[in-house]
Structure 1
């Protein structure tokens, strides 16, 4: 049965790259060896795999990849460090202008 992996790479500049693949070993090889000069990771090698999650359905994997790509660095680091329970707390808006924090003058 085919599976799909959503992965996060830590780049040499400290940034994170999130991707999806049906062959994690091949995809990591391509990233590490600069197979695509237009890829975000090309000038940020060497890279290290810091997270991956497998999905049996490509649509689930695509949905999760899109979600993770929209996350802040701190949320990505929460799942990298296996702190899934922190995600809800990190999703709460803490801006003074948020309706939950607004104080009437």
Structure 2
């Protein structure tokens, strides 16, 4: 079983892009090279600002859609306290999903590696 990641990227105009992947490094590279989503072709992606890990692609797609339907204020809450996504989703959808929030230290390490690779 392959785990998937649901992520939010900060773009250069202070907007957010939400997506899913099973490989964070490759996916961000595609966004940077303008080979990812149409949104990140027009709005330069800067870094991952929140990442959650889930068990399968179906759950990842549901959570991605859920996040995309929320206002920027709610997305900001999820970014500031990434455990709130699970709480809000479970309460609104009457489910008990398994979702693992990536801690900020690990997220910073990933962004640092991506930043170093982009300088090459």
Q: TM-score by structure 1 length? A: 0.73
The equivalent residue for 2:57 is 58
Find the aligned partners of 2:47 and 2:15 in 1 and give their Cα distance. Answer: 11
Which of structure 1's runs of 4+ aligned residues deviate more than 2 A?
85-88
RMSD value over aligned CA atoms?
Answer: 2.4
CA positional deviation for 1:24: 1.2
Runs of at least 5 residues in structure 1 that lack an aligned partner in the other structure = 92-105
Larger radius of gyration: 1
Report Cα offsets for 1:14-62 as digits up to 9, x if no partner. 11110011111110010012125x7111122142110110111211111
The answer as to whether partners of 2:2 and 2:55 remain within 8 angstroms in 1 is: yes
Q: Which has the higher helix share?
A: 2
Corresponding residue for residue 94 of structure 1: none
Count of residues in Structure 1 that have an aligned counterpart in Structure 2 = 88
The corresponding residue for 2:8 is 8
- Residue number in structure 1 paired with 2:101: none
